[in-house]
Structures are given as structure tokens and as C-alpha cells.
Structure 1
């Protein structure tokens, strides 16, 4: 009988683990510094990772900042971001890992690559390439966090001891708790009006936008999506895109999503 109970617990444990996917997690924690870099947020990779995860639908936070109560007391309710670099002679190779609090890999991306010579551009493009693997996953938070731990804990507390006579069967029950999930809130955007007309000058992999001074204001790098560019103004990295006939530059500043309207003449 004890063997039966042990097998039941092991079955529940393994079945919970097998179903553990990114859809079980609402929150994700991004480090301020990746292990292969020398400085915090070097090449703004950590900022970019947080931005892309937020864009995917996660609630993303830096792991050493003030955290919401929901995860401050239990970081096992969040996924943890890790980015690995594979050294290459002429390419930058980055792989995205999303791990649970025990170090188990819940998601592993393809190896993102870039052959750009400039470090900041190359690392940004390689990370974005790795993140395209998330586009193949239909991420929708299902309200279940750490299914494995919850199921094992519930099974452990509800299994009753066998009776004195071996003829009395032992029943194991796992209570099912309904979870109410609040609808995800849209990300608030602070939008600034355009400062003036910018003129697009073609470059080898996109455009540089200059004002009437002339002064370079923004660098645009092409992506595989039409009217969607990797953008950098020298102090912030983000995206530039066309929406309803208007151009916008979006980036994060001190944890807040900012947007600037752009008047561009190509």
C-alpha cells in the first residue's frame, strides 16, 4: 500500500512537471547584467530583453528592483531570464533561456546570430533573432503557477494513512482550487509630439535620420517586418514603427514606456 501511495505521488509530480510551460507564469525577472558581459545593461541588452518580454505579454521586472507583492515573497512565481553567448570568429551568437526558480529550463530559444561588426548593433540583432523563437509559442497566461509544486504539496497533505487491516483501500484525493485571473492591463505609454521633420538617409542596413542642422537624431536598422526598425538615438534603444500612417519611436526610460512621434521624409 505504501508503494502505491509513493507511485501516485511520483506520477502527480512528473505529470505536473511535464505540463510546466511559459503559459504557467505571468511574471519574468530580468537581471541587470548578463553573465557574459562586463557591465550592467551593457549594449542595453538587459533593457532590450525586458522590452521584448513585455511586448510578448509578460509582466517583466528587473530582479533587484522593488517587486510586486505577488512575487516579492515568492520568486518561484516568476520565470528567470538567462542569456548565453557562444563565441564565434565573425558572428555574435546568443541563446535565450527562461528558467524556473529551481534552475529547470522551461524555454530555450534558437541561437540568435548577427554578423554586424559594431558590438552594440551585433548584440542587439542577435538577441532579437533569438527572441523570434518566442513568436512560435502562443503565450497566454493560464493562471497556473508552479503546477508541480502545488500538486505535490496538495497530494502530500490529503493522502490518508492505511487502516490497520490490509483489506481497507486507501484513497488519495487532490483538491482542485479555482483560480481567478485578473485581465492583463495594457502598458501605459507616454507619447511626445514630434520636434520637427527628420530626413532619412539610406545606410547599408537601414537609415539614419537627420534634422535640418544637419544632425543625426536616430539610427534605424531593418528587420524582417516591413515598417518595423530597431532604433537608437544614442541614449536609448527601442523600436521605430509605422501605425495608422504615423511613425513612432518607442523605448523604456526608468521602467516607463515612452513613445515619440516622428515626422520622417524618405
Structure 2
């Protein structure tokens, strides 16, 4: 009996943690195009996701639209929406994920399903089915302001060392040790199509394999393939897609034609 009571207490604590977590956010950003889509707002999914989130009580914006100053100055005050598709035979499977600005999953829905033959209907029904998971989580914004991640500077790198003569000798800067990555060879040639903020890489199917977002550094992109999030960069004249999987760094070579 005591064990049963303890289990109920743990479950209640976990539930409260999950609810409090989404309650920390007033805003949610929705992309104009999900990674599995071929065009912006395909089948009306992006506007549907925005509408369903607004029904929940969030203040929702498309990620490339004008936003309030408190959000423009700190995107960590918003959750980011992803919809992931799992391919299945004669069935549409969609999962809704809400992540914070550091990529941590705050909410993940069940797998919404539809067996309708007409694509637009099937995708809409599957997305609505996935969003029913959000109905089980009460939401009310609690006024939390989420701080930007801070870069910590080691004290030894700034203070230096005072030797006996009174001379201050700068302490040596710590040297970062490169992580050894598991290298995978390129699966085939990918063709780059320009987008508003970068590129989408498609194969010969054609199917979108990777979405690239430009950064302030040349030959360096934020990358996403719906299952893995990482970077695409040029090393030794070759393109690589680097990401972590099960705590291990993976570096996939890419053959890209721009």
C-alpha cells in the first residue's frame, strides 16, 4: 500500500513539473514550412498548428514574422514548434514537439494518425489528433522571463597570476580538445535550393533531406533533417553534417551542388 501511495506521489510530481514547464512560456513560434513539407503552409498545416496553439492560450507567431520587443530581444521567451512525420503505409503519422531555445523538448504529443486517402484531409486529421495530447496538460502563463544562455569565462583566463616580483603574468588560455567524430560517407549527391534564410537540400527523388539556415559565419549552417539537429560546415574542402546521436558525435559527409 505504501508503495502504491509513493508511486501516485511520484506521478503527481512529474505531472506538476510538466505543467509548470509549459506554463513558463507565453509565446510559441511556428515555422512557415515544416521539414517534411515541400512548400510553405502545405495543406494548411502551419496555419492549423498556429490556430490550435492559440486555442490552448498561447500567443503564437510565425517564426519569420514581426514579433513584440520582449520576444525579439530574447527568443528564449518562446517555444519553437516542430511537427515530425513518421512514414507509414496507407497511414499519416504526425507528432507535435515544443522545444525551448536550447533545443530541449518541453512537450511531445502522441503520434497523431489518419488513414484518409486524400493527402490534405489526412494530414489535417493527423495533426489535429496529435494536438489532442495538449488538451491533457492545463496551461496558464505564470509570468516567467526566460534568460538567454550565458557564456561563462573561466576566471583563470582573465585574472592572470601574480609572481613574486609583482609582475602579473597572464594565465594561459584553456585549450579545447576536439571531439573525435564517427565519420559516415556521403549517400549521394544533394542539390541546394535557395530559401529565404538558407537552403534546402534535395535528393533525386526529389525529397528534402536537409534544411540549412544561414549563420554569420561563411560555410557554416544550422541544419535539421527532422530527426537530427546539428550543423553543416566545410572542412578540408568537404561538406559535413555534424550532430549528436545517443551522446556520440556523428559527422556525415555531404556532396552538395549549389
In our comparison, the structure showing a higher alpha carbon Rg is: 1
TM-score scaled by length of structure 1: 0.48
Bigger RCO of structures 1 and 2 (CA < 8 A, at least 6 apart): 1
TM-score scaled by length of structure 2: 0.50
